[in-house]
Structure 1
Amino acid sequence: MPRSAVSPLEDLFYGCDGTERVRRFEAYKASMDVSQKMADSGNYSFIPQVGILPTGGVKKIQKLLSKFDDGGDIRKGLTADAASELQADLDAARAAVADITKDWTTSFPDSSGLVPYDLQAGIKHLIPFETPIRNTTPRNQQGKGLATHWKRLLGLSNAGVGGVATLSPFMNSQTVQTSFGSLALRRGQKITYATDSQAASYVEMGYSDQVNWAAYFAGLGFDNVRQLSQHALTWAHLLGEERAMLYARGASGNGYLGAVSAPVISAADSGQAGSLAASAYKIVVLATGGFGTTVQSNEVTVTPTVNHGITVTVTTEPTGGLNYQLFVTAAGGGTGTETFQTNFVGNTVTFTAVSAGAALPANSDTTADTNGFDGWIPAVAANGGYVKRVNGKLSTSNPGTELQTAFQAMYQLNRSNPDDAWFDSGVMVELGDLLKSASSAPYRIALSNDGGTQGTLGTAVTGIENQVTRKMVEFNVHPFMPTGAGLIRSLRLPFPAEGITNTAEMRLVQDYMAIDWPAIQFTWDASTYVFGTMVHYAPAWSGLLLGIQ
């Protein structure tokens, strides 16, 4: 189905038919209502438009209301008009109970105010967010304690992986001698293994929101502001977790990769026309990774020919570095006065002018989070996965050659047979454009017409056939993929492995939960919480392309 034809409900409940999506959506809203009611059933419960009731007061109201239902004794004997008035009052009371049980005020998040209005369908509040990495990574809630430990079988005899030697199967049973402890016995030679042990600390994730009482009361009879807040809080958490699972980095002391090292750079006159003065320019570069940037590179000074530019080259690209940020001083500027100029993909950038900007950020690393874990991209880059820095455009003469090269190398390395590949939007468009411009590419453009005056021309690339294994590798766009990056994932190992069914999973002590806090001020506060980590059992079976321009 074309992207434009996908409804918000389909984004939320992908893979279901229309009836099932509606059912799940109603169940989703009902579950939020239930959590709110449960949170409010403390020692005292405040019911809007009713007042403060002791523990169990809500149930007492509901029990009382049930006596007025059709067939109840109290309704018997009432006139039609009296019954109608009573029903209206009951409906209002039930609505008040349902509204019992998020930082929403009358001016936030909309500066014009959360002004309620009639006939606003709930579907308008659903934004089509996507969390594909989270959706396709198994979640295992069997974690215990403060950390998880696991052993990995990296290779065994004759598998051709893990650096374990290949053994000939032949022997002479009358003369063969194989050592078993202190004994030499007539048995075939023993196979060997390559293993290692891993450990990672569990980490915490969570967000919070609050609803100002005034905003809540202003919405009574219109939108349920608390439910909207809970919906926003839920999606903020899912999207944050999606980013973490894609590219987060944890602290090395907790069993994770730690900070990305600083890049090393050089620079020289570009030999191209520009507008730089014949003066000294000081230059530093930061690499991006995780949720932040590295400490600055070495500082270089270049004096170009008048009206020329300067080309900067990252001569040592740090493992785990994704892209780069360029900082340059004004002509004749001193050390430490470099200002931000541009982000760049690949290991080179040429600038022909210097613009004024903010000062260089503090020289401290923000790539690693002391409370975080390692996501897919860092784990693959640092643990034996295939990594290729393209540092240029994709091949125009042979579209897809970079991927086929990756598939072949991954297969030779450990018999990897990847399942899918994820790119940023720019790379996806570039792949489609290559098909239209490459005369030798084996492709077909289909123009369809249903008999009307409109037609559809399609040149999007949906996948590529692995020439080594003949498996179709699906292409997908990821909204949070770093610019110029491509993640090639193997979700399962290509051979049986005892106890290992997934190459990565979320191992959790406590999976996603939401907490509605007791009201101790004029707000209703809510938080989300997860305690666990992301475990990479076999990152070497996946691959990574970087620097695609």
Structure 2
Amino acid sequence: MTANTDDLIKAALQAPSEDIARSILSAAGMSNDELAKSITTQTGLVAYDLQAPAKNLYPVNTPIRNRLPRVGGGIGVATNWKAIDRIIGSGYDAQGWVPEGQRSGQMSYATSNKAASYVTIGEEDGASFEAINAGRGFEDVKARMTMRMLQKMMLKEENALLGGNATLQLGTPSAPVASASGSTGAIAAATYSVIVVALSFEGCRGASIANGIPTTKVINGADGKTFTLYGGSSNKSAAGSVAVTSGQSILASVAPIMGAMGYAWFVGPSGSEVLQAITYINSVSLSTLRTGTQPATAITADNSANPNLAFDGLLTTAFKAGANGAAYVNQLATGTAGIGTKLTSSGRGSCNEVDAMLQGMWDAYQVSPSVLYVNSQETTGLTNAVLTGSSAPLLHYMQDPQSGGVKATAGGTIEYYFNPYSTEGGSKIPVKIHPALPPGTMIGWAENLPIQYQANEVPNVAEVKVRQDYYEIDWPITTRQRQVGVYAEEVLAVYAPFAMGIVTNIAKG
């Protein structure tokens, strides 16, 4: 088609009448039917309505990273501090009596040296020159790539601050106690072997029935070098045994492990056990058995910690301190296998397990959490424990003065939890859902020490001590690709582990 013909067709389309359009088309040597056939959407001669830039449909929710203070000035390989854990009076520690004219004995101190080693966290990405050039007019490919890379690193940092594990080995669980009962199960009659593997916070985050539980992974760095990450799983237990008759289900439980937030269960004929379930309590109930999932033989060692690469997060620090009595840790009782122990109501508008944690933290160290993080499961369980028939007298309706009627909103949850254990007569603790916290666990955290810790020199109970905060590296061009890395060198320094409390092994309520 010539440019002149193209102009005539445009003129025909814009003609004020059909007769004039016909005359113009005739001059172009085309009929009206031919024009109608040539101009349709099926020809593909249409514009492409692409909205720019791309929609980023993923959450970047990092509440603890956002809440923790970041303190610079780090040097060397670790940050170090000295702690005076107790001041011990002479004589009877609780008595200060001195005879007239005499001197008291000298007091003493319980001290400890603390250190937290700096580690590096990072993420990398790359974009070819073709991708960068083809994206012009749509989005700045390199800039957006860097933004998304920083967001992903912040998400990984959030996981590290909450549950990073450098030092807490889960070891080997004891052999499960297994039994069979019921009449509605679909397990073939036979004798089965039951094996369990404990999971840390990181293990819970990486485990699934489809992909199995994480053991180790070799990372191929963008520099061509490799390193190994440990996935957060314990060694496998010795096997328990159970004889099943037709219609029965398998019930199994294991002694809880300090630091475990989940358990993976492998069941099958002896030597052929495969992954059947992942639970967030220390027991399981199975009415059917899977095939084709991860075999228990894939677990050959304790892969729960990364001692040379990671730092301990809040949960790991609290679990370790709880083992030594310096933090409140309550692993709820096993209860009935597969059902576990739920949060329970006090009958006065509160939850027994949370009340026990608040009182325990006060009695031992005179501290009170300033925030309570829970999983969505525990939001429901806590609400069910608090809002019961016996707590109804504590609730009230708000009447709308305009309409004169009572308006009720369906549903409800716990926004704050009142803590009566404090010097000032009580405080409200916000209850927040943490997107990464596994079901079955809640953590209370006092972000600052109370006023009675005079001259404590601890402005923050926990802080991110940075040797070098976020920095971007644009690597030299060695291929037709722009390669970028985002890194930070930091450590979580927890100065008062006793200012944290954990309730775990909570069954769904």
Q: Same fold (TM over 0.5)?
A: yes
Q: 1:218 and 2:218 equivalent? A: no
Aligned residues of 1:327 and 1:340 also touching (Cα < 8 A):
yes
User: Post-superposition shift, 1:119?
Assistant: 4.3
| Residue 433 of structure 1: aligned partner | 384
Letter in structure 1 aligned against 2:504: L
**Structure 1 442/546 Cα, relative in aligned 2: closer, same or farther at 3 Å?**
farther
User: Post-superposition shift, 1:381?
Assistant: 1.0
What is the percent sequence identity of the aligned residues?
A: 27
| Residue 358 of structure 2: aligned partner | 407
Q: CA RMSD in A?
A: 2.6
**Structure 1 366/354 Cα, relative in aligned 2: closer, same or farther at 3 Å?**
same
**Structure 1 205/259 Cα, relative in aligned 2: closer, same or farther at 3 Å?**
same
User: How do residues 89-488 of structure 1 correspond to structure 2 at under 5 angstroms?
Assistant: 118-120=50-52, 124-125=55-56, 127-157=58-88, 166-174=93-101, 176=102, 187-250=103-166, 257-273=167-183, 274-291=185-202, 292-315=232-255, 317-329=256-268, 333-335=269-271, 337-358=272-293, 359-360=295-296, 361-369=298-306, 370-383=308-321, 384-391=326-333, 392-396=341-345, 398=347, 399-440=350-391, 443-444=394-395, 456-457=409-410, 459-469=412-422, 470-488=426-444
Q: What is the rounded CA distance, in whole Å, between the counterparts of 1:363 and 1:165 in structure 2?
A: 53
Q: What is the rounded CA distance, in whole Å, between the counterparts of 1:266 and 1:327 in structure 2?
A: 11
Q: What is the rounded CA distance, in whole Å, between the counterparts of 1:546 and 1:188 in structure 2?
A: 46
Aligned residues of 1:261 and 1:319 also touching (Cα < 8 A):
no
Q: What is the rounded CA distance, in whole Å, between the counterparts of 2:354 and 2:392 in structure 1?
A: 15
Aligned residues of 2:79 and 2:118 also touching (Cα < 8 A):
yes
Aligned residues of 2:168 and 2:316 also touching (Cα < 8 A):
no
User: How do residues 43-122 of structure 1 correspond to structure 2 at under 5 angstroms?
Assistant: 118-120=50-52
Aligned residues of 1:157 and 1:167 also touching (Cα < 8 A):
no
* TM-score, normalisation: structure 1: 0.69
**Structure 1 128/351 Cα, relative in aligned 2: closer, same or farther at 3 Å?**
closer
Aligned residues of 2:418 and 2:429 also touching (Cα < 8 A):
yes
Aligned residues of 2:180 and 2:243 also touching (Cα < 8 A):
no
* TM-score, normalisation: structure 2: 0.74
Letter in structure 2 aligned against 1:390: L
> Unpaired runs of 5+ in structure 1?
1-115, 159-163, 177-186, 251-256
Q: What is the rounded CA distance, in whole Å, between the counterparts of 2:92 and 2:288 in structure 1?
A: 56
Q: What is the rounded CA distance, in whole Å, between the counterparts of 2:494 and 2:246 in structure 1?
A: 52
Q: What is the rounded CA distance, in whole Å, between the counterparts of 1:443 and 1:427 in structure 2?
A: 22
Q: What is the rounded CA distance, in whole Å, between the counterparts of 2:169 and 2:435 in structure 1?
A: 24
**Structure 1 397/499 Cα, relative in aligned 2: closer, same or farther at 3 Å?**
closer
Aligned residues of 1:397 and 1:440 also touching (Cα < 8 A):
no
Aligned residues of 1:448 and 1:455 also touching (Cα < 8 A):
no
For each residue in 1:236-279, what CA deviation from the matched residue of structure 2 results, as whole angstroms up to 9, or x when unmatched? 011100000001101xxxxxx24222221332323322233332
3-state DSSP of counterpart to 1:206: strand
3-state DSSP of counterpart to 1:403: helix
Q: What is the rounded CA distance, in whole Å, between the counterparts of 1:263 and 1:196 in structure 2?
A: 32
| Residue 43 of structure 1: aligned partner | none
Aligned residues of 2:70 and 2:463 also touching (Cα < 8 A):
yes
User: Post-superposition shift, 1:356?
Assistant: 0.8
User: Post-superposition shift, 1:447?
Assistant: 7.0
For each residue in 1:131-181, what CA deviation from the matched residue of structure 2 results, as whole angstroms up to 9, or x when unmatched? 1111111212121111222111212237xxxxx97331221142x3xxxxx
User: Post-superposition shift, 1:429?
Assistant: 2.1
- The structure with the larger Rg is 2
User: Post-superposition shift, 1:455?
Assistant: 7.2
User: Post-superposition shift, 1:546?
Assistant: 0.5
User: Post-superposition shift, 1:232?
Assistant: 0.5
